[in-house]
Amino acid sequence: MSNAVKFRTPKVLPYVNRLRDHWAWHLKRAVAPGKALQQRVNGKVILLTGASSGIGALVADKLADAGATVLLVARNQEKLEAIAHAIHQRGGQAFVYPGDLSNMEECDRLCEQALQDHGRVDVLINNAGRSIRRSIKFTVGRFHDYERTMQLNYLASIRLAMNLLPGMEARNEGHIINVSTVGVQANPARFSAYLASKWALEGWTWVAANEYAHTNVRFSSLNYPLVRTPMIAPTKIYKYMPVMSPETAVNWMLDMIITQDKRKLGVFGKGALAMYYLLPKTSESIVNLSYQSLYEEPPANYVSSKARAGTAANTNTISSTKKRRA
């Protein structure tokens, strides 16, 4: 690649068309959301990851009922086949693509098979994800926590996108939706591994959106709050916290598909973002107070800072005694 600086005339008309389409689809969504969804996805091929349960399974039903051909991706083939069978019973189109997305070769294989079977993928929804809730001090000996979350939440999403983008670019049409979290704005404690992967995913999404803004290929981030899905079930405290219902989460996803907005973010996320930029130290203190207030059971092999300090002090004392005797 040459390092010489070269200029070319930019395309400006696509910005005008995009603004016109933005308001047109928002109006359609407001007046008749069901009809708008059908107009947007009827006849489209949509690849949906994390489709075996929760938000993914519910969204798959809605998209198929609106006329889309839905490609269901998850590890559990049995669950995928049950969802596909129910869709077929209603006259919809759904196809099962089981695979482990944490394996990059599996990502390539799934995309290759999907393109071979259907000729194209119009919409990619990266909905699959893994969350880990653990303090950094308890993660020192668990570097694989970061590798696992990054592998599925970030690398797999980008691997699928990179496989499907060339076709979208050639057709000058496509939409990639990356499911993220309001945690990117709020930065809650104990989610360093999970949020690192989502920050990376959003960073890629915004760069891609900027680079393709003059085309008809769109990129979106969906910043969900806590949603009552199987992924949050292991964390007991969430039983007592206000969370979004799966039905509302599905409507968020469908709105994003219709409008192709750049980001979907609730009131809490916007408030957290404003707080972070306007009063960063205050925001940090609030999060830290909640972190200190909630006890977290340490792992069996954890050595506390107090114990480490005591060990270090004893070592220094013994060392000093030996030196005096010498």
The secondary structure of residue 174, as a DSSP letter, is E
Q: Give CA separation, 40 vs 51, 174, 234, 317, in Å.
A: 20, 11, 36, 73
Contacts 24+ apart (CB under 8 A), 192-195: 192/136, 192/139, 192/146, 193/132, 193/134, 193/139, 193/145, 193/146, 193/148, 193/149, 193/150, 194/130, 194/131, 194/132, 194/133, 194/149, 194/153
- Read off the tokens for 80: 């995928």
**Helix-helix angle 157-171:104-118, to 10 degrees:** 30
User: Distance (Å, rounded) from C-alpha 231 to C-alpha 251?
Assistant: 19
The secondary structure of residue 232, as a DSSP letter, is G
Task: Determine contact, residues 99/106, Cβ cutoff 8 Å.
Answer: yes
Task: Determine contact, residues 235/133, Cβ cutoff 8 Å.
Answer: yes
Residue 224 annotated in active site: no
Please report which residue ranges of the chain form alpha helices under DSSP H: 13-31, 33-41, 54-65, 77-89, 104-118, 144-149, 157-171, 183-186, 192-211, 246-259, 267-278, 280-293, 305-325
User: Distance (Å, rounded) from C-alpha 220 to C-alpha 254?
Assistant: 12
**Helix-helix angle 54-65:246-259, to 10 degrees:** 50
- Count CA atoms within 13 Å of residue 309 on its CB side: 3
Which residue of the set 97, 146, 154, 194 is catalytic? 194
User: What residues contact 297, with CB distance under 8 A and at least 6 apart?
Assistant: none
Residues belonging to the active site:
194
